Amino acid sequence: MDAAASINLRYEDIALGAEFETAAHIVTEADIAAFADVTRDHHPLHIDSDYARSRGFPAVIGHGLFGLSLMEGLKSELKLYEETSVASLGWDEVRFKGPIVAGDRLRVRFCFVEKRPSRNPERGIVIETLDLLNQRDEVVTAARHTSLILTRQADRGVSATK
């Protein structure tokens, strides 16, 4: 299978307990600085190596929300529901468990833990637990994410209107 091809899981395809792991991303100071620019959060921990070291870190550290955003981005590269995702319904139980340091090699491990139908029979709700892990297998960010994805009935609705 082409690595770039979408898998496009539907609600019915989600197997509770199924686990996935993403490719890794090496965080650079430029990544962290770009996130600081986009979010307008220029706290010196994120942009000043000397300041970060004065606070006990080996280099600048990423924003907590940088880690959360990276979790979503790395997960999306798997293309599990590239064309079947309707919306993110939110993140819960987010915990920043350790620093994200420039130079860290991060990856996401996640598991489908719950699913339920929505009011619309063409959409279902799926909940994942996710861990952002560094090169030492330490969890730096943990969270639960709720997604709204298409069901197979949505596929029938599309073909019925053509």
Separation CA 161–CA 14 (nearest Å): 26
**pLDDT surpassing 50 at residue 159:** no
Q: What is the pLDDT of residue 157?
A: 64
Q: pLDDT tens digits, residue range 41-92?
A: 999 999 999 999 999 999 999 999 999 999 999 999 999 999 999 999 999 9
Q: How far apart are the first and last CA of the chain?
A: 29
Two tokens at 90?
Answer: 């939110």
**pLDDT surpassing 50 at residue 160:** no
In order of start, what are the domains of the chain with their CATH numbers?
Answer: 11-160 (3.10.129.10)
Q: What is the pLDDT of residue 155?
A: 74
Q: What is the pLDDT of residue 33?
A: 97
Q: What is the pLDDT of residue 139?
A: 98
Q: What is the pLDDT of residue 74?
A: 98
User: Is residue 149 within a helix (H) or strand (E), and if so which, with residue range?
Assistant: strand 139-150
Report yes or no on whether pTM surpasses 0.85.
yes
Residue 24 CB partners (closer than 8 Å, separation 6+): 105, 106, 107, 135
